[in-house]
Amino acid sequence: MLLDPARFVREIDGKPVALFTLRNSQGMTVCVTNYGAKIEQVLVSGRDGRFDDVVLGYDSIEGAIVGAASVGAFIGRYAGRIGNARFTLGGKEHVLAANNGPHCLHGGVKGSRFRVFDAVQRSDSSVEMRYVFADGEEGFPGALELRLTYSVTEANELVLDYEAAALDVPTVANLTTHAFFNLEGLEASGQLSGLGHEVTIFSSRYFEMTPELIATGELLPVAGTPFDLRKPVPLNSRVRTPQAMDGIAGYDDCFEIDRSAAGNGELALCARVSAPSSGRVMEVWSTEPTMQFYTGLVAGEPLAGGSGKGGRQYLQQQSLCFEPQGYPNAPNVPAFPSAVHEPGRSRRSRTLYRFSVD
């Protein structure tokens, strides 16, 4: 079941690429490549003691290159969409690379999803990665240094610690991870689907979006809407299926996390998801103020690119993404907390995925 590191050895853009395997003493194992800082495999135990893979990914560097770019990737320089691929900073308009219609998505045509990070494995359970976005890269002003550490803890947590620092002039950044989870397990689940999971999102407000999924600046109450996930909800009771045609098409929405129990800069519980068949439970904790929740909006539509692990064709709504991050489209919404990074003042964040069995 474990991915073969030899299949990830390659040089891209003059930099060495490898697969890094992280473990704890209980058997939890995570495989990460420094191409896009992508999470390719997460092995955790279910109710029956069986370890299974609970993330989408690829079993070779060739697969990761031609596959869906966001699968497992660490996203920068700006996660989500910046409307009309432009913003004004310091009185100057910056025009970005547009890769989602007229908008800039996940950092542009060649954001961090396509970049090779410098990587050093510090221990059996952690790896450090670094990438410097150049001034003008994808249209963004200024150089930005990103440092990222993946760790596996004895509490069966996958922890991401990351820090971003503007190196010369003010710039903007919004960072997240884009792992696609299915807690039933890729091999054990048969006909893979994410809609049998029960999901709780600890949020009282969600972001109003235009039809092109650009944040308008308004936050709306979740109460009385399909976005009220404050108590455990089976997704197949909200999302349309061939058997039940009422409901919404799916989720690709951003939620403001209720942080009343957490101080500024402290971890807050963003979401809890459980898979009834396997008994696996995952909690999402983060210092970030919002979280994008993604199932895909077109049931059964193939993800871009080639086949995933084991030759499997990945489809929308087979898996779920929980992406803690900053406020969407913040460079164009003055009312939102600023996404500006000033030189000499680095920003640190932590996101963790904690696994257990119900």
Q: Residues 159, 280, 32, 304: is their CA dihedral positive or negative?
A: negative
In the predicted model, is pLDDT for residue 189 greater than 60? no
**DSSP codes joined into one string, 53-109:** E-B---SSHHHHHHS-TTTTPEE-SB-SEEGGGEEEETTEEEEPPP-BTTBEETTST
Q: Quote the CA–CA distance of 353 and 197 in Å, as a whole number.
A: 16
E strand or H helix that includes residue 211: none
Predicted confidence at residue 175, as pLDDT, reads 98
Q: Of all residues in the chain, what percent carry a pLDDT higher than 90?
A: 91
Average pLDDT, rounded, for the chain: 95
Mean pLDDT of 314-332: 97
Instruction: Output the CA–CA distances (angstroms, integers) from residue 130 to 145, 156, 325, 349, in the order listed.
Output: 7, 24, 19, 15
Predicted confidence at residue 247, as pLDDT, reads 84
Q: What residues are labeled active site?
A: 178, 323
* pLDDT, tens only, 275-298: 999 999 999 999 999 999 999 999
Considering the four listed CATH numbers 2.70.98.10, 1.10.1060.10, 3.40.930.10, 3.40.50.300, the one that applies to the domain covering 1-192+293-358 is 2.70.98.10
Predicted confidence at residue 192, as pLDDT, reads 76
Closest CA to 285 of 251, 235, 331, 322: 322
pLDDT band at residue 187 using 50, 70 and 90 as cut-offs: confident
Ranking 13-17, 207-211, 257-261 by mean pLDDT, the lowest is: 257-261
pLDDT band at residue 265 using 50, 70 and 90 as cut-offs: confident
Q: Quote the CA–CA distance of 235 and 238 in Å, as a whole number.
A: 5
Ranking 136-140, 170-174, 247-251 by mean pLDDT, the lowest is: 247-251
Domain boundaries, the chain: 1-192+293-358
In the predicted model, is pLDDT for residue 246 greater than 80? no
Predicted confidence at residue 287, as pLDDT, reads 97
Mean pLDDT of 160-170: 98
Mean pLDDT of 122-149: 98
Predicted confidence at residue 243, as pLDDT, reads 62
